Structure 1
Amino acid sequence: MNGDVRQERSRVVVIGGGVSGLIAARDLARAGVPVEVLEREPDLGGRIAQARIAGLTIDVGAEAFATRGGTVEELLREIGLASEITTPAALGSWVIADDRAMPLPAAGAGGIPSDPLSRTSSTALGVLGALRAAVEPLLPARVGATSETLADLVRARLGARVLDRLVRPVSLGVYSTAPERMPIDAIPGLGAAFRRRGSLVSAARDLRDSRTAAGGAVAGLQGGMGSLVQRLRAELDRLGAQIRTGVEVGALERDGDAWSVRDRTGSEISRGGAVVLAVDERTASRLVEPSTAPADAPDGESDRVEVIALVLDDGRLTRAPRGTGALVAQERDAHRGSTHSTTADDPIRAKALTHASAKWPVLARRAGQDRQVIRLSYGRAGSAPETEALDDAAAMHQALADASRIMGITLHAASVRGMARKVWGVSGPIVAGEGPHVSAPPGVVLAGDWVSGTGLASVIPGARDAARLALRAVSGSNPASTGPVTTGGSS
Structure 2
Amino acid sequence: MTADARLTRSRVVVIGGGVSGLIAARDLALAGVPVDLLEREPNLGGRIAQAEIAGLRIDVGAEAYATRGGTVEELLRELGLASEITTPAPLGSWVVAGDRAMPLPASGAGGVPSDPLSRASFAALGVTGALRAAVEPLLPASVGADSETLADLVRARLGSRVLDRLVRPVSLGVYSTAPERMPIDAIPGLGTAFARRGSLVRAARDLRDSRTAAGGAVSGLQGGMGELVHRLVEELERLGVRIRTEVDVCAIERDGGDWTVRDASGAEQARGGAIVLAVDERTAARLIDPAVEPASGEPERVEVIALVLDDGRLTRAPRGTGALVAEAEGTDLGSPRAHHHDDPIRAKALTHASAKWPVLARRAGQDRQVIRLSYGRTGRVPETEQLDDSAAMHLALSDASRILGVTLHAASVRGMARRIWQVSGPIVSGEGPHVQAPAGVVLAGDWVSGTGLASVIPGARDAARLALRAVSGSDAASTGPITTGGNS
Q: What's the TM-score, normalizing by structure 2?
A: 0.94
| Displacement after TM superposition at 1:72 (Å) | 0.4
Equivalents in 2 of 1:336, 1:433: separation in Å?
A: 29
**Map of 2:278 onto structure 1:** 278
SS of residue paired to 2:8:
helix
Taking a change above 3 Å as real, the CA distance of residues 427 and 195 of structure 1, as seen in their structure-2 partners, is: same
Q: 2:324 aligns with which of 318, 323, 327?
A: 327
Equivalents in 2 of 1:5, 1:251: separation in Å?
A: 21
Equivalents in 2 of 1:7, 1:427: separation in Å?
A: 35
Equivalents in 1 of 2:17, 2:131: separation in Å?
A: 49
**Map of 1:185 onto structure 2:** 185
Taking a change above 3 Å as real, the CA distance of residues 478 and 433 of structure 1, as seen in their structure-2 partners, is: closer
**Map of 2:481 onto structure 1:** none
Q: Deviations over 1:411-437 (max 9, x none)?
A: 000000000001111000123553342
Q: Which letter does structure 1 place at the counterpart of 2:382?
A: P
Q: 1:370 aligns with which of 367, 387, 391?
A: 367
Q: Which letter does structure 2 place at the counterpart of 1:356?
A: A
SS of residue paired to 2:422:
strand
Taking a change above 3 Å as real, the CA distance of residues 378 and 37 of structure 1, as seen in their structure-2 partners, is: same
Contact 1:276–1:444, Cα closer than 8 Å, also in 2:
yes
SS of residue paired to 1:116:
coil
Q: 1:316 aligns with which of 313, 320, 325?
A: 313
Q: Does 1:137 align with 2:144?
A: no
Runs (4+) off by over 6 Å: 331-336, 478-481
**Map of 1:485 onto structure 2:** none
| Displacement after TM superposition at 1:288 (Å) | 1.0
**Map of 1:220 onto structure 2:** 220
Contact 1:129–1:162, Cα closer than 8 Å, also in 2:
yes
Equivalents in 2 of 1:226, 1:372: separation in Å?
A: 20
SS of residue paired to 1:292:
coil
**Map of 2:197 onto structure 1:** 197
**Map of 1:210 onto structure 2:** 210
Contact 2:328–2:344, Cα closer than 8 Å, also in 1:
no
Unmatched 5+ residue regions in structure 1?
A: 482-491
Contact 1:306–1:385, Cα closer than 8 Å, also in 2:
yes
Q: Deviations over 1:315-370 (max 9, x none)?
A: 0000000000000001698999599xxx9941100000000000000000000000
Taking a change above 3 Å as real, the CA distance of residues 224 and 333 of structure 1, as seen in their structure-2 partners, is: farther
Q: Which letter does structure 1 place at the counterpart of 2:432?
A: G
SS of residue paired to 1:430:
coil
Q: Which letter does structure 2 place at the counterpart of 1:311?
A: V
Q: 2:387 aligns with which of 386, 390, 393?
A: 390
**Map of 2:30 onto structure 1:** 30
SS of residue paired to 1:395:
helix
Q: Which letter does structure 2 place at the counterpart of 1:462?
A: G
Q: CA RMSD in A?
A: 2.1
Q: Does 1:256 align with 2:256?
A: yes
Matches within 5 A, 1:76-115: 76-115=76-115
Equivalents in 1 of 2:160, 2:329: separation in Å?
A: 19
**Map of 2:46 onto structure 1:** 46
| Displacement after TM superposition at 1:150 (Å) | 1.0
Contact 2:334–2:381, Cα closer than 8 Å, also in 1:
no
Unmatched 5+ residue regions in structure 2?
A: 479-488
Q: What's the TM-score, normalizing by structure 1?
A: 0.93
Taking a change above 3 Å as real, the CA distance of residues 97 and 336 of structure 1, as seen in their structure-2 partners, is: closer
Equivalents in 1 of 2:145, 2:430: separation in Å?
A: 16
Q: Does 1:461 align with 2:458?
A: yes
| Displacement after TM superposition at 1:213 (Å) | 2.5
Q: 1:431 aligns with which of 418, 424, 428?
A: 428
Q: Does 1:287 align with 2:284?
A: no
Q: Which letter does structure 2 place at the counterpart of 1:389?
A: Q
Q: Which letter does structure 2 place at the counterpart of 1:164?
A: D
Contact 1:72–1:456, Cα closer than 8 Å, also in 2:
yes
**Map of 2:470 onto structure 1:** 473
SS of residue paired to 2:80:
coil
Contact 1:311–1:374, Cα closer than 8 Å, also in 2:
yes
Equivalents in 2 of 1:259, 1:217: separation in Å?
A: 42
Contact 1:381–1:428, Cα closer than 8 Å, also in 2:
no
Q: Deviations over 1:190-230 (max 9, x none)?
A: 11111111110011111101101212200000010000000
| Displacement after TM superposition at 1:35 (Å) | 0.3
Equivalents in 2 of 1:468, 1:344: separation in Å?
A: 54
**Map of 1:58 onto structure 2:** 58
Equivalents in 2 of 1:102, 1:207: separation in Å?
A: 23
Q: Does 1:170 align with 2:176?
A: no
Task: Identify which range, 376-385 or 53-62, moves more after superposition.
Answer: 376-385
**Map of 2:444 onto structure 1:** 447
Contact 1:452–1:462, Cα closer than 8 Å, also in 2:
yes
Q: Deviations over 1:19-39 (max 9, x none)?
A: 000000000000110001000
Equivalents in 2 of 1:331, 1:15: separation in Å?
A: 41
| Displacement after TM superposition at 1:244 (Å) | 0.3
SS of residue paired to 1:115:
coil
Identity of aligned residues (%): 82
SS of residue paired to 2:249:
coil
Matches within 5 A, 1:7-26: 7-26=7-26
SS of residue paired to 1:437:
coil
Contact 1:150–1:182, Cα closer than 8 Å, also in 2:
yes
Contact 1:95–1:101, Cα closer than 8 Å, also in 2:
yes
| Displacement after TM superposition at 1:462 (Å) | 0.5
Q: Deviations over 1:28-87 (max 9, x none)?
A: 000110001000000000000000000000000000000011100000000100000000
**Map of 2:124 onto structure 1:** 124
